[in-house]
């Protein structure tokens, strides 16, 4: 664990530093409250801080208050070092945001026990954050392909349409559908079909811009959002996607699978009164239908 020790008494600070290092922790030191506050504001600030109550610059209690007022950083577990042991002093420290306290000079066994408790709290928080991130990904991404899911792409599209209208810039979308995908499942099985969908997703991801967004819209259908692209550029982008799929067959465990994709492109004119997500998607669907009717494995545009 990375730990900050802030103590203006050099001898006391060195004693605690030595103990923390002996117990396997990475130690950062500050000899006053101002230095400690600078360290605690850094992006890689230590998650556990041992602060002397009485220090030049900013005392330990005020540091606790400042740490607790932050809302944009991870939790910092704070242990106060203090010569004060009256109940009212302990209450004051806890009200300021301290998690624990140790009376000076700290008994090594007691200090180690308090640090272990702090480490458990920090590790629990880290596990909770990891769980939240996993749940967030599950809620917004397709479990098979790792692409955005239908709900998330609607949110993205609404946001990008709003930005396009404010900035009076174009926005385009592509509705893509694998050609004759049922025959892939029939010939190779559904497990192979899942493998094909994952590889198609990877190929599509590899040729779009970082700020484009792509989702599995349903089954073998995909929706791509192209912020800032007019009709010509959107067609070019869709053509790159089409070629990434159709130029080279997929080689999977079950065999060689030829794949192709049809894409309908719809472009919103930001100066017109229309341009909601549903309207764009309807236009892209119509363009996709045209692409299928015209022989598949092609890109067809439709302007609002």
CA atoms within 13 A on the CB side of 64: 24
What's the whole-model pTM score?
0.69
Per-residue pLDDT of the chain (304 residues; tens, 9 = 90+): 899 999 988 998 999 999 999 999 999 999 999 999 999 998 889 999 999 988 888 988 899 999 988 877 788 999 998 876 667 777 877 888 889 988 888 889 999 999 999 999 999 988 998 999 899 889 999 999 999 999 999 999 999 999 998 888 999 999 999 999 999 998 899 999 999 999 999 999 999 999 999 999 999 999 999 999 999 999 999 999 999 999 999 998 888 999 999 999 999 865 554 458 888 999 999 999 999 999 999 999 986 5
Q: In this predicted structure, what is the pLDDT of residue 83?
A: 78
Query: What does the pLDDT read at residue 210?
Result: 94
Q: DSSP states of 58-78 as a string?
A: S-HHHHHHHHHH--SS---EE
CATH superfamily ID and name for 2-139:
Response regulator (3.40.50.2300)
Dihedrals phi, psi of 287, to nearest 5 degrees? -65, -40
**Residues in Cβ contact with 263 at an 8 Å cutoff, skipping those fewer than 6 apart:** 174, 175, 176, 177, 238, 241, 242, 288, 291, 298, 299, 300
Both tokens assigned to 146:
């790792």
The rounded distance, in Å, linking the Cα atoms of 63 and 79 is: 11
Confirm whether 2-139 and 150-303 share one CATH topology.
no
The per-residue pLDDT for range 223-239, each reduced to its tens digit, is 999 999 999 999 999 99
Q: What does the alpha-carbon distance between residue 21 and residue 27 come to, in Å, rounded to a whole number?
A: 7
Q: What pLDDT score was predicted for residue 54?
A: 87
Catalytic center residues: 220
Asked if the 150-303 domain carries CATH number 3.30.70.270, the reply is: yes
Which is it for strands 261-268 and 171-178: parallel, antiparallel or unpaired? antiparallel
d(CA 86, CA 196): 69
Residue 104, pLDDT score: 85
How high is the pLDDT of residue 158?
93
Cβ atoms of 263 and 175 within 8 Å: the answer is yes
* Domain map (residue ranges) of the chain: 2-139, 150-303
Measured in degrees and rounded to the nearest 5, phi and psi for residue 262 equal -110, 140
- Are the C-beta atoms of 115 and 86 separated by less than 8 Å? no
């Amino acid at each position: 664990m990375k730990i900050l020790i802030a103590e203006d008494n050099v001898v006391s600070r060195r004693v605690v530093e030595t103990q923390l290092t002996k117990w396997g922790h990475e130690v950062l030191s500050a000899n006053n409250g101002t230095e400690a506050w600078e360290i605690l504001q850094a992006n890689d600030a230590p998650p556990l801080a041992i602060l002397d109550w009485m220090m030049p610059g900013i005392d330990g209690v005020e540091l606790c208050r400042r740490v607790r007022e932050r809302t944009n950083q991870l939790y910092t577990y704070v242990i106060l070092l203090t010569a004060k042991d009256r109940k009212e002093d302990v209450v004051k420290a806890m009200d300021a945001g301290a998690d624990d306290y140790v009376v000076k000079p700290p008994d090594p066994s007691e200090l180690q026990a308090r640090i272990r408790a702090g480490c458990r709290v920090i590790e629990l928080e880290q596990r909770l954050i990891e769980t939240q991130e996993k749940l967030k990904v599950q809620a917004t991404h397709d479990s098979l392909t790792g692409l955005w899911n239908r709900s998330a792409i609607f949110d993205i599209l609404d946001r990008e349409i709003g930005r396009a209208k404010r900035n009076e810039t174009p926005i385009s979308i592509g509705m893509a559908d694998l050609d004759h995908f049922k025959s892939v499942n029939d010939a190779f099985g559904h497990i192979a079909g899942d493998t094909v969908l994952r590889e198609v997703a990877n190929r599509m991801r590899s040729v779009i811009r970082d700020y484009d967004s792509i989702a599995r819209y349903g089954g073998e259908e995909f929706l791509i959002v192209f912020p800032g692209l007019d009709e010509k550029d959107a067609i070019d982008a869709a053509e790159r996607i089409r070629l990434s799929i159709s130029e080279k067959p997929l080689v999977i465990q079950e065999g060689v699978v030829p794949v192709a994709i049809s894409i309908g492109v719809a472009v919103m004119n930001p100066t017109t009164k229309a341009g909601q997500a549903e309207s764009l998607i309807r236009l892209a669907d119509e363009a996709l239908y045209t692409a299928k009717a015209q022989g598949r494995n092609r890109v067809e545009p439709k302007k609002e």
